Structure 1
Amino acid sequence: MRRRLGGHRLLGEIGRGSTSAVYLALDAQGREVAVKALLPEFVGEPEALNRMAREMAAQGRVRSAYVARLLDGLVTAERPFVVLEYVPGTPLADLVPAYGPLTGDRLVRFARRLAIAIADVHDAGVLHRDVAPGNVIVQGDRPTLIDFGIAHPAGAPQITRRGMVVGTPAYLAPELIEGEVATVASDVFSWASTVAYAATGRPPFGRGSLHGVCFRILRGEADLDGVPEPVAGLVRAAQRRDPADRPRARWLAGALAGPAPHGDGPDRLRGRGVAA
């Protein structure tokens, strides 16, 4: 393994995707950071380079206590890379199988903070498009949203078609399975499915074949048994089939903090620009 990249000393690989690897590293001041670099075989691939550039542009716009910060990066380097805030903790996808579902106030705080993270992303004019247990790092009951690899500016052209799945299939909104464009409401649906997983240890639309999971998503056949109130009611609202009927992420965060914000409940969002 190359030991240095962009002035950062690489300590070891901590994650790997289809086109890149993530390393724990030390910056010039000796602080821990995460360095995401293209795998050597993808360095000359235009689409991989464009995707990394889009990731930097999207994540660089977001400021949130619950989203990993972009610190640096250079797409034109010999081995293109981005430098991210290192977030200690465990991915939700690994935490729940090892220690069990989140319960009680811990679940409520987790759900609220994840909703704040998504709201902050949307306020920055960005769609995450892959909110899922593998992209949420948890320390205690504090989630941090990571991986903006397929994030996109809200309202920008998106290439989608029926049968093309972009993101983590079990947590996708139904309109994305049908080939529609992603919206803020799509991220909200994924928030609901991720929170349901945190509460139960089960993907709400089951496991098995991609076809079967997508069929249950399209039919609205979520298994929410074991998700406690008031979280369950908000999850159901956020999983409504029509994107225009889903609440905003900021509203969900407010509802989990106390009484629902006046005049902005889930039933009052139709026709108010939910698709952003």
Structure 2
Amino acid sequence: MGKHRRLGGYRLLDEIGRGSTAVVHLAMDSFGREVAVKELQEEFVAEPEARQRLAQEMAAQARVRSGHVARLLDGRLDGERPYVVMQYVPGCSLGDLVADYGPPRRERLLRLARGMALGLADVHDAGVLHRDVSPGNVIVLGDRPTLIDFGIAREAGAEQLTRRGMVIGTPAYLAPELIEGGAATTASDVYAWAATLAYAATGRPPFGRGSLHGVCFRILRGQADLEGAPEPLAALLRRGLDRDPARRPAARWFAGALADWTGVSSGRSRALLA
């Protein structure tokens, strides 16, 4: 155990993720609990924008309280190696789950859809935009999904750190208005939720594979592939993938619409689907 590097009060055990500017470690705190520690890579420590982006991630995630969203636990931005500490979420990504085992059965799929909608609704209720809902950023354990990675999230109204015209997010799950240069909104998060679930329901990216240009073209044309997606989920996904963001219901609405179908009584969910 002595060979493991320490960062703050945390012992770094293993690398579990790596992005463009940061590394995520499985770590142990002073109570012996597993946590996830995200630290800036050494070459980005001196860049103010990288520190500011990490600070924005902390500020956004700190506002969210949800059983379906990884919690922020700790962090330090002023040291030699800035880091944030998050709840470690066991399980595997929705992307890996579908790639390895195929689409979940209808009942499980509906439960995953509702859990994801509840988590996203809690994010939005906290005044935060996630901006990168995608199969790689949903961890599944049993029937419980947890939304992770607030690396490009921001509080609504916070300063935009990306350059104008730069597309941020996972391209296959981007809302059309973002491809066209529009601002991120709760509606664009909802679109990404629906696109992510379309992948889970069919085992295929909803706008196909191939060149980025081709994928974006199909997104802009509204050519979503939902063949094989079970009802009532397919009907809901069509609403979430509406080309017009003003016509997409809120995440909380989708959670309510899915309630009766997952054994949770909402009193009016089936009527909402009509």
Match of 1:212 in 2: 214
State how 1:186-197 maps to structure 2 within 5 Å.
Answer: 186-197=188-199
Return the offset for 1:161.
3.7
SS of 1:251 mapped into structure 2: helix
1:175 equivalent among 174, 177, 183: 177
Shift >4 Å, 4+ stretches? 259-262, 264-267
The number of aligned residues is 265
**Cα offset, 1:104, TM superposition:** 1.5
Equivalent pair of 1:237/1:266 in contact (CA under 8 Å): no
Q: Deviations over 1:186-226 (max 9, x none)?
A: 00000000001111111100111111101100000000001
The answer on 1:101 being equivalent to 2:88 is: no
Q: Which ranges in structure 1 are unaligned for 5 or more consecutive residues? A: 268-276
**C-alpha displacement of 1:73:** 0.3
Q: How does 1:42-191 map to 2 (within 5 A)?
A: 42-158=44-160, 161-162=164-165, 164-191=166-193
The answer to whether the 8 Å contact 1:14/1:23 transfers is: yes
Q: TM-score, normalised by structure 1?
A: 0.92
Describe the superposition over 1:257-276 as per-residue Cα deviations: whole angstroms up to 9, x where unpaired: 126858x9699xxxxxxxxx
Q: What residue identity is the alignment partner of 1:66? A: H
Deviation at 1:35, TM superposition (A): 0.4
Q: Does the residue aligned with 1:240 lie in a helix, a strand or coil?
A: coil
- Name the SS of the counterpart of 1:217 in structure 2: helix
Provide the rounded CA distance (Å) in 1 between the counterparts of 2:53 and 2:242.
30
Between the aligned residues of both structures, percent identity stands at 69
Aligned twin of 2:263: none
Measure, in 2, the Cα distance between the counterparts of 1:211 and 1:188.
Answer: 22
Residue 198 of structure 1 pairs with residue 194 of structure 2:
no
Query: What's the C-alpha RMSD, in Å, of the aligned pairs?
Result: 1.8
> 2:16 pairs with 14, 17, 24, which one?
14
Whether the 8 Å CA contact 2:191–2:241 is kept in 1: the answer is yes
Please say if residues 254 and 260 of structure 1, whose CA atoms lie closer than 8 Å, have aligned partners that are also in contact. Answer: no
Q: CA deviation at 1:155?
A: 3.2
Separation in 1, partners of 2:137, 2:128: 16
Match of 1:232 in 2: 234
Any idea what SS the aligned residue of 2:258 has? helix
Question: Distance between the aligned counterparts of 1:138 and 1:96, measured in 2?
Answer: 11
Tell me: CA distance 1:135–1:166, structure 2 relative to 1, closer, same or farther (3 Å): same
Q: CA deviation at 1:154?
A: 1.6
Q: Which runs of 5+ in 2 are unaligned?
A: 261-265
Q: Which residue of 2 aligns with 1:272?
A: none
Which residue identity does 2:59 align to in structure 1? A
Q: 1:25 pairs with 24, 27, 39, which one?
A: 27
| 8 Å Cα contact 2:103/2:203 also seen in 1 | yes
